Structure 1
């Protein structure tokens, strides 16, 4: 579906049978309760007595978030000490994992926050926001590059303390008794992080749950975005593993959503984007038998000339297509502008010896030429899969690969991959992504792809995340992903291409924070030119909504493709007044950029 066809479909939605008057009320454009949200100091902003009523309703868990840099000298010093510790940042209701985006947004605390500990707390906050016409924000992990987990002058529902985890031997969704077979599963509250999930499911229970690659990402946010992990080429997208969700919808009702109960809402949660349809408070995900081994391949290869680099790119693409384009392999190759190929791949279901045998012909080819040198030697390592997120195992056997939460009393399983620390607190200059179709890997298409990659690197580095496209995955993983809201392009994509530029943390009020905006704009322009060069071979490529351009044009088409009209209908049914708003979220085109004014 092209842009014009998509627009026609979206405009037709209000006239579809059953949509003009949804089950939960009138559509956005007619009979709406309000046309603008209120800010502090404006008429209608809740009085202190009304805020106190909310505080009582949530058991005294109403907070006034602050930036620690402006709270006190002690708080500021503590924040600066831990500014690259994502666990510390996640524990601050006034901070987000990204400090901002040049010419787009800055991390700013909400006016008030409910530190929710139950679905009842969330429901009370939702009803309060609806009654008083407040801008509502939801934050679990707080990893949103787009700034969707914070907003000034808003009420924040903060789910950090909702982190309970329960494993099931035989789970059946509510209302599905007798129609669905029981299956092994894990239920996680929405404030849990993926390191918590992997510790419970893999390290302790010896099974696998498809989640995110970054350990500190929130469970619920990833599921709602679609969700990729290092091993998605084998186990599929995280949202496709959702069996059931508990969600608080716009009228403050706690609902169950699964294939049998509220199935339309269930479908929308799976890839429709966080913060648009309601507040997810619990997810239940299927678990899988664990392979014997997980492993990784690392190394940097430098070419002596542009011609040699182009040949190296061609060899890497050909080798990927012939030997790595299958469910065993995931993660990245990064093509640098200084003629360096960075390899950071992972594998599952292979031994270290098997992985070495697969890579040996490629390494022999590199060694055979004087045009190439190893800036970082190639390493091929495998570990028992049950230890892949085992902090104690890595401390003993591979120190430095994982970085712990360095605060006194921190849970010992709270670690992150060292390679992910660069994103902690970063200030984004530019970020773009594009799904690349598997047709580019055909023998008659590889030359064009190689030319596009080389042209791209003359402007900016590009990463190919092979695990973030489902081409090459097992048929069952692809079939499950057909029933989620993410752009169907993901089914035929062999990789997600990512380009990004960023600077040091630049939170408002942070001492020494001085983002170089002219540099940021220059980098953004270079990233744009690089993506344009790559998209010459994939001109209609969609983008992954969680890793995309804040200024993405035609975002409805890019993120959801032909699924957007159906998503918009779900939004109208369960949130007819548009209570839930996030940047480039479903239905956000009906609001001003800050989410405070309804567009007529």
Structure 2
């Protein structure tokens, strides 16, 4: 083996002894030709030679990696791989563990690939289904980037050889933008720098501009960022997920970055001060309000994997504040009771927005669960705000209803509370989402109609991650959909399937998602959606994800990436490519 084909040594040992599987897994199922208008794929005659990969490897701080699906050891005939398989199966729903494996995806449907003849290439943890372990959509080769220089070398190599490129950060990815069959991967998971500043000055800013801030490397996860911020007695606006595995300096912020505390402090894009990134030319550049301001505008909501590869993101920090947690769990006594309860619940969001609350909820046609947070609001004040809703829910709910207010010392103390998640594990599932915004106007004037629409669906989640401070920001200040500036919450639906399901079953689930999106659309304005938690099957993704900002974003995209090195599913500029994002159309 040359350095170019050295197998990645995972900290968890999942990659141990898997060289024996490589001949099986890397049998190419792609075409063997390539045209100038198409990107080069693994297995095609244009794919770089071993000598070319050796030359690339000599420029990197780490050996090249050959990502494998996490279930791969379960198909090995090597006895030593049995405990490796057991470890992988035990962590199939552990976001932190999965994020440390370059070939693992937290939404496992994006590990698979459906061929035009409807056969499925996948590698399932459930080995009783029979079949072999296929590579699916897991890129077969990549770079374990530990520095900007690693990324620069990889970007230059991908551009020079016209490779189909994917960028994999960490955490979940509901649009599969970090996966692509036969592509070349740049993996930034190990870029873990965290630096706090008492007087951060963005590059090019006047001397009078100083901020309390934190600079996070591309691979820092929110669990790591929160632990570091707590040690500094500071708060940084970020996401909440199972095990905190979502990346703090990748797709989360580039897609807008919502938080349960957005109502108090704004979205992620309202708190970012500066990006550093490697662009399509391989240059390591800075973007902020003073240096490359046009690119800075686009990066704040234009989407991940589109304008370059972030190396660091700098956020302003905030003082730690106490909060009050409001919990409710309701089983409704009848459909009429559900209609009344959910109508009041929707309408209450207007008041909660004015008070800068946030949180998460789930509902069916007979149940409601929510956990809402009131930052820097006393228990008596929180009680006065939420009691009208609690009173209605008690009237329409069955015996045993839970309504509770809990004072919490800080956000970090909240993370240690064991709050039940009735939706089950967030990662390790085969799932696709679709979403729409709940606007302030809709909640204020159409609560009854909205409740009826939501109750007609089997399951709905509401991320109460807007309103409050989000409404106070100029809609033209960043590249994200300006509909955020009239939104109180993000409403989303989902469809799931199981290991081994046929392509027909998968396509049927996707069709249900389309059909239910049309129902969900009744509550929205201009079909606006949060692009990080949205559908690959949007009728008009440009309108849904960016609204009137799309044309400006595409102009910026074409300026900084004229050859289309960075192209992702339903991303800015993807409309110039075929469905596989391989050939221009």
Shift of 1:389: 6.0
Q: Do 1:299 and 1:344's aligned partners in 2 also have CA atoms closer than 8 Å?
A: yes
* Alpha-carbon distance between aligned partners in 2 of 1:275 and 1:42, rounded to the nearest angstrom: 24
* Alpha-carbon distance between aligned partners in 1 of 2:503 and 2:458, rounded to the nearest angstrom: 18
Of the three residues 47, 54, 57, the one matched with 1:55 is 57
* Alpha-carbon distance between aligned partners in 1 of 2:347 and 2:414, rounded to the nearest angstrom: 32
Q: Do 1:455 and 1:530's aligned partners in 2 also have CA atoms closer than 8 Å?
A: no
> RMSD of the TM alignment (CA)?
2.4
Q: Do 1:277 and 1:580's aligned partners in 2 also have CA atoms closer than 8 Å?
A: yes
* Alpha-carbon distance between aligned partners in 1 of 2:578 and 2:511, rounded to the nearest angstrom: 26
Q: Do 1:432 and 1:548's aligned partners in 2 also have CA atoms closer than 8 Å?
A: yes
Of the three residues 216, 235, 246, the one matched with 1:208 is 235
Superposed CA offset, 1:2-61 (max 9, x none): xxxxxxxxxxxxxxxxxxxxxxxxxxxxxxx94111123322211111111111100243
Q: Do 1:84 and 1:421's aligned partners in 2 also have CA atoms closer than 8 Å?
A: no
**1:96 and 2:98 equivalent?**
no
Q: Which residue of 2 aligns with 1:287?
A: 317
SS, match of residue 423 in structure 1? coil
Of the three residues 431, 448, 465, the one matched with 2:433 is 431
Of the three residues 62, 69, 72, the one matched with 2:71 is 69
Q: Which residue of 2 aligns with 1:556?
A: 542
**1:478 and 2:473 equivalent?**
yes
* Alpha-carbon distance between aligned partners in 2 of 1:366 and 1:225, rounded to the nearest angstrom: 35
Q: Do 1:296 and 1:344's aligned partners in 2 also have CA atoms closer than 8 Å?
A: yes
Query: How many equivalent residue pairs?
Result: 521
Shift of 1:194: 0.9
Q: Do 2:526 and 2:543's aligned partners in 1 also have CA atoms closer than 8 Å?
A: no
Flag the structure with more relative contact order, 1 or 2, with Cα contacts below 8 A and sequence separation at least 6.
1
SS, match of residue 579 in structure 2? coil
Shift of 1:285: 0.8
Q: 1:380 to 1:593 in 2, by over 3 A?
A: same
Shift of 1:113: 1.5
Of the three residues 126, 132, 144, the one matched with 1:115 is 144
SS, match of residue 373 in structure 1? coil
**1:195 and 2:191 equivalent?**
no
Structure 2 matches for 1:416-495, cutoff 5 A? 422-428=425-431, 430-442=432-444, 445-446=445-446, 449-467=447-465, 469-470=466-467, 472-473=468-469, 477-479=472-474, 482-495=476-489
Shift of 1:518: 5.8
Q: Do 2:339 and 2:455's aligned partners in 1 also have CA atoms closer than 8 Å?
A: no
Q: 1:355 to 1:55 in 2, by over 3 A?
A: same
Structure 2 matches for 1:177-196, cutoff 5 A? 177-178=206-207, 181-196=209-224
Q: Which residue of 2 aligns with 1:78?
A: 87
**1:591 and 2:577 equivalent?**
yes
SS, match of residue 437 in structure 2? strand
Any stretches of 5+ residues in structure 2 without a counterpart?
A: 1-34, 115-119, 123-135
* Alpha-carbon distance between aligned partners in 2 of 1:302 and 1:264, rounded to the nearest angstrom: 50
Of the three residues 344, 355, 358, the one matched with 2:371 is 344
Superposed CA offset, 1:501-539 (max 9, x none): 2245xxxxxxxx323666655554554444433433435
Of the three residues 138, 149, 164, the one matched with 1:135 is 164
* Alpha-carbon distance between aligned partners in 1 of 2:390 and 2:316, rounded to the nearest angstrom: 38
SS, match of residue 197 in structure 2? strand
**1:364 and 2:358 equivalent?**
no
SS, match of residue 167 in structure 1? strand
Q: TM-score, normalised by structure 2?
A: 0.83
Q: Do 2:260 and 2:360's aligned partners in 1 also have CA atoms closer than 8 Å?
A: no
Of the three residues 36, 39, 44, the one matched with 2:38 is 36
* Alpha-carbon distance between aligned partners in 2 of 1:219 and 1:273, rounded to the nearest angstrom: 14
Q: 1:386 to 1:548 in 2, by over 3 A?
A: closer
Structure 2 matches for 1:138-149, cutoff 5 A? 138-149=167-178
**1:150 and 2:179 equivalent?**
yes
* Alpha-carbon distance between aligned partners in 2 of 1:95 and 1:474, rounded to the nearest angstrom: 34
